[in-house]
Amino acid sequence: METPKYLQTLWSYKWLLAFGLVVAAVAAFFAGFSITNGEVQSRAVQSYTASTTVLVTSPNDTLFQSQVPGATIEEGVSAPEPLDLASATQIYAYLVSGAEVRTEVEAAVGPLDEDTESITAIRRTTQPAGDERFPGSLKLPVLQIVGTAPTAERAEEISAAATDVFLGYVADQQEAKQIAPENRVELEVLSSGAAVASATGNPAIPIVVTGFAVFLGFVALAFVLAAIRSNRNKRNRPRRRSRAAAPTGGDTAPDSEANDIEEIQTSDDDQVLVGAGTRAD
């Protein structure tokens, strides 16, 4: 079985490909890692999130009551109507993510990096152990204020600062609107979770892609060099043939001698030598 032409070409440049393999390995390493102060560190962007859970409630909350007692209703006065705190919590999430809260947080903890740091908030729809990346069907008056940063300490700092700023913002709005204390929304901090590493992309992808691309470049270079060598050989081949076919100066016969050569033809009267005698046809 004959070896394919492309494999013959690659084998003829095996040392070039071996060198390309080494270069590809080095390029892939530095695509995925860096050396800082003598330590190898991954280039994958690290991201941490820290969250603070806040319960949205009111002074008239019936959470711990088994029943609501009756109340005397004055004539001409309507009964108080409790607001849907779960719906209000969804609006609070937008307020936490807004520019006003962000400005005050930056004044407290320093400017936030646009690419790696952020403040967000979500209304919980699952149980405490649930993952809000897969929302549930619950509509809870529970607000989760989330800080994101490249380090765990920074993420926790952002989350705590955003919570303090938002609680102060709500209190200021209640005072400005002169809402009676018994009618005010109350925000109760339930927990402040430690920062956790966020799910990021596969760090092996840039390593594999870089290594493969560099090695593929050397394979292409091998085929280019083979094509150049083949074209050069094709151009040199007619020259070699013309040199081999050209007679030397001493072997050149004069045209007069060439013209004097007569063609010998046989006739019916020619004699053919047979054994020791002759025989005429």
Give pLDDT tens digits for 3-14.
Answer: 788 888 888 889
What's 48-61+83-197's CATH class? alpha beta
Given a cut of 80, whether residue 281 has pLDDT beyond it is: no
Q: Per DSSP, what are the bridge partners of residue 118?
A: 148
Give CA–CA dist 166/97, Å, rounded.
10
Domain residue ranges of the chain, discontinuous segments joined by +: 5-33+203-227, 48-61+83-197
Contacts for 130-139 with beta carbons within 8 Å, 24 or more apart?
139/86, 139/87
Given a cut of 80, whether residue 27 has pLDDT beyond it is: yes
pLDDT at 1: 62
Under 8 Å between Cβ of 24 and 215: yes
pTM for this prediction: 0.61
Given a cut of 60, whether residue 248 has pLDDT beyond it is: no
**Residue of higher predicted confidence among 81 and 164:** 164
pLDDT at 256: 46
Give pLDDT tens digits for 123-144.
Answer: 999 988 888 888 888 899 999 9
pLDDT at 240: 62
Judged by DSSP in three states, 226 sits in helix
Average pLDDT over residues 79-103: 90
CA angle 157, 160, 165 (to 5 degrees): 120
CA angle 93, 96, 102 (to 5 degrees): 155
Given a cut of 90, whether residue 101 has pLDDT beyond it is: yes
Given a cut of 70, whether residue 153 has pLDDT beyond it is: yes
| pLDDT range class, residue 210, cuts 50, 70, 90 | very high
Given a cut of 70, whether residue 239 has pLDDT beyond it is: no
Number of neighbouring beta carbons within 10 Å of residue 112: 18
| pLDDT range class, residue 176, cuts 50, 70, 90 | very high
Region of residue 37 (phi > 0: left; psi between -120 and 50: alpha; otherwise: beta): left
pLDDT at 119: 96
105-109, 152-156, 196-200, 228-232: the lowest-pLDDT one? 196-200
Average pLDDT over residues 146-160: 94
pLDDT > 70 in the chain, percent:
82
Given a cut of 70, whether residue 110 has pLDDT beyond it is: yes
**Residue of higher predicted confidence among 250 and 188:** 188
Given a cut of 50, whether residue 278 has pLDDT beyond it is: no
pLDDT at 273: 41
pLDDT at 234: 81
pLDDT at 277: 45
| pLDDT range class, residue 201, cuts 50, 70, 90 | low
pLDDT at 199: 61
Tokens 């001409």 correspond to 76
Q: Please give the mean pLDDT across all residues of the chain.
A: 82
